[in-house]
Amino acid sequence: MADQIVGLDPTCATAQPPAADVVVVGGGIMGLSTAWHLASRGVRNIVLLERAELGSGSSAKPLGGVRANFSDPGNIELGRRSLEAFRRFPRQFGVDIGFQQVGYLFLCRSDAEAADLERATGIQNGLGVDSRMVSPQEAAQINPLLDPAALTGASFSPGDGFAAPSAVVAGYAAAAVELGVTVLDRTEVLDVRRGAGAIESVTTQRGTIRTSAVVCCAGAWSARIGAMVGVDLPVTPVRRLIGLTRQRSVPYPRVPFTLDLSTTFYHHNYRNGLLLGISHQQEPGFCREFDHDWLPELNAAAAVCTPQLEHPDLAGGWAGLYENTPDRNALIGEARELPGFFYATGFSGHGFLQGPAVGELVADLYLGRPSFLDAGHFSADRFSGTAPVLHEVNII
């Protein structure tokens, strides 16, 4: 029988319940953080559905940047609160997530970019984030791979860094199951049914779950879930690739997560090698095949500020999907036209670093209690003209 399919992850259940108070769609960090936060606040009978394996979407990256150095106050607060969660994660969940506070270094190569960074740094400081503007020479001292002659300045936030998404996913999954959440992998949502202005059920290949609440954390696949109930979630899948250099006997110098705002070229340490990436031009779609067609764009960008990283000796890489919205900012909220349908998606590359805080925010939203941030800031209504579109400068 379908409900006897055994998940590959020992965390996952083997049978799908016939009913749930809340169904969470998506088994990446966003869905698992949401499920754990709901359960930790006393919500029971939660079912989480993942179409493939846990953390196999964007959360499958080998390393994920974690930061609070945004320009929009809402993004700053999501990043800052998530950083606090990442710092206490090993103590709270007993899992080593490889969290390294190497810092973030954003590079600017024009007066306009410098002005944007300076404004953003001021907003960050006002919200308690440790960041500062630095000169080209100081930037090159922080990251000796840089050519200071190519820069007009930079901003540095030493408390930011990176962590291992797979470890965070595993930690949230185990903790959620311990609190009674039913986690099902290899379980695809085929339909979400709505009745007279309310959610009625979720159907998978295993059967139907009666429920009055759904949280869509389906990442790049979220538009399809929203369409099942007539909710417009403007999320477009776009392939992104990163490269991993060969491991060296003598490691590269320790450098922060470094990003050139003009080209979006970024790099940071990966064990004794480097991880390199760029927000290269790609057609929308669900392709997640790794290839090397993007290297000419990466090489041209690397040549500008870090010429020694042009033509890197790559040993492999990773291909995954960004879940882009029209303004490259997240969708978080409850559908105005369908109470009981919640969403946390469209993070455009920022989902991992904002996941802990977003799970908390969605749990508070479901419970109708005040939270650390007004979720209306990220409502999907902004694309229907009922709320302002967000503007974020410090995006990758």
For 276-324, write each residue's pLDDT tens digit.
999 988 899 999 999 999 999 999 999 999 999 999 999 999 999 999 9
**pLDDT reported for residue 387:** 66
Instruction: Express as a percent the part of the chain with pLDDT over 90.
Output: 92
Instruction: Please determine, for residue 2, whether its predicted confidence score (pLDDT) is greater than 90.
Output: no
Clarify whether residues 180 and 304 are in a common domain. no
Clarify whether residues 25 and 138 are in a common domain. no
Tell me whether residue 285 is in a domain.
Answer: yes
Tell me whether residue 390 is in a domain.
Answer: no
Q: Residue 193 belongs to a domain with what CATH number?
A: 3.50.50.60
For 109-152, write each residue's pLDDT tens digit.
999 999 999 999 999 999 999 999 999 999 999 999 999 999 99
Could you tell me if residue 74 is left (phi over 0), alpha (psi between -120 and 50 degrees) or otherwise beta?
A: alpha
**pLDDT reported for residue 197:** 87
**pLDDT reported for residue 8:** 54
Instruction: Express as a percent the part of the chain with pLDDT over 70.
Output: 97
Clarify whether residues 187 and 252 are in a common domain. no
Spatial distance between the Cα atoms of 161 and 352, rounded to a whole number of angstroms: 12
For residue 389 the two structure tokens come to 């579109």
Clarify whether residues 214 and 253 are in a common domain. no
- Average pLDDT score over the chain: 95
For residue 12 the two structure tokens come to 């996952």
Q: Of 294, 320, 346, which one is at a domain's C-terminal end? A: 320
Give the structural domain span for 15.
2-59+166-235+327-384
**pLDDT reported for residue 117:** 96
Clarify whether residues 31 and 120 are in a common domain. no
Looking at residue 59, what DSSP letter applies? G
Q: Of 320, 347, 372, which one is at a domain's C-terminal end? A: 320
324 near 218, Cβ under 8 Å? no
Residue 49 bridge partners (DSSP): 25, 184
Under the banding of pLDDT at 50, 70 and 90, the label for residue 389 is confident
Clarify whether residues 298 and 343 are in a common domain. no
**pLDDT reported for residue 10:** 79
Clarify whether residues 35 and 24 are in a common domain. yes
Under the banding of pLDDT at 50, 70 and 90, the label for residue 396 is confident
Clarify whether residues 355 and 373 are in a common domain. yes
Tell me whether residue 259 is in a domain.
Answer: yes
Clarify whether residues 283 and 141 are in a common domain. yes
Q: Of 302, 320, 338, which one is at a domain's C-terminal end? A: 320
**pLDDT reported for residue 386:** 67
Tell me whether residue 129 is in a domain.
Answer: yes
Mean pLDDT of 80-108: 97
Instruction: Please determine, for residue 7, whether its predicted confidence score (pLDDT) is greater than 50.
Output: no
For 15-30, write each residue's pLDDT tens digit.
999 999 999 999 999 9
Mean pLDDT of 338-364: 97
Mean pLDDT of 164-173: 97
311 near 299, Cβ under 8 Å? yes
Expressed in angstroms, the distance from the first to the final Cα of the chain is 45
For residue 136 the two structure tokens come to 């080209």
Total number of domains in the chain: 2
Mean pLDDT of 9-16: 90
Tell me whether residue 295 is in a domain.
Answer: yes
Q: Residue 274 belongs to a domain with what CATH number?
A: 3.30.9.10
Tell me whether residue 154 is in a domain.
Answer: yes
**pLDDT reported for residue 385:** 78
For 42-76, write each residue's pLDDT tens digit.
999 999 999 999 999 989 999 999 999 999 999 99
Clarify whether residues 152 and 110 are in a common domain. yes
Clarify whether residues 142 and 246 are in a common domain. yes
Tell me whether residue 201 is in a domain.
Answer: yes
Clarify whether residues 376 and 266 are in a common domain. no
Tell me whether residue 277 is in a domain.
Answer: yes
